[in-house]
Amino acid sequence: MRGQIALGKLLDEEVTLIQPALRQHQIELKQERSQVGEQEVEVDPDQIKQVILNILLNAIDAQGEGGVIQLEGVRQVGLVGFAVSDEGPGISLDVMPYIYDPFFTTKEKGTGLGLSVVHSILDQHGGKISTANRRDGGVRVEILLPSI
């Protein structure tokens, strides 16, 4: 069920949820979200929480042990969202075109449904996802939703 909710509230709930995983892997989560904290979006909160959780858990998975994951607020004209950056190995260029395909995975225990589901949820909300390797290593995933 869709409703208006502050994006920051959704991010806070999922960040709280992943604290044990961050501690377990000795990963520091750095956040810079001031520009989007109170910005409201009209979404199905449970679905967007699933998106946030999936992106954060993927970053933890890619990161391995130690290091820093960054969570930052992002704004574009008519859109608001967040970006998650990890310091993992990145995504090989031959794999990148397939990462949103159902059942495609490079993980030993992955189902290949995570990013496919994320992509589908964002499509239903008029949002978008972009994934890119960072020059200094790791991946940056950006999630954008229509702002109110």
The average pLDDT across 27-39 equals 91
Q: What is the reported pTM?
A: 0.94
Structural domain for 45, as ranges = 3-146
| CA angle centred on 55, ends 15 and 137, rounded to 5° | 105
Domain count for the chain? 1
CATH number of the domain within which 28 lies:
3.30.565.10
Q: How confident is the model at residue 34 (pLDDT cuts 50, 70, 90)?
A: confident
Q: Give the SS3 label for residue 6.
A: strand
CB-CB neighbours of 49 under 10 Å: 16
User: Could you report the per-residue pLDDT of 126-141, keeping only the tens digit for each?
Assistant: 999 999 999 999 999 9
User: Could you report the per-residue pLDDT of 80-123, keeping only the tens digit for each?
Assistant: 999 999 999 999 999 999 999 988 888 877 777 789 999 999 99
CB 63 within 8 A of CB 86: yes
CB 83 within 8 A of CB 11: no
CA 113 to CA 17: how far, in whole Å?
21
Map 70-96 to HEC letters: EEEEEEECCEEEEEEECCCCCCCCCCH
CA 89 to CA 91: how far, in whole Å?
7
Is the pLDDT reported for residue 10 higher than 90? yes
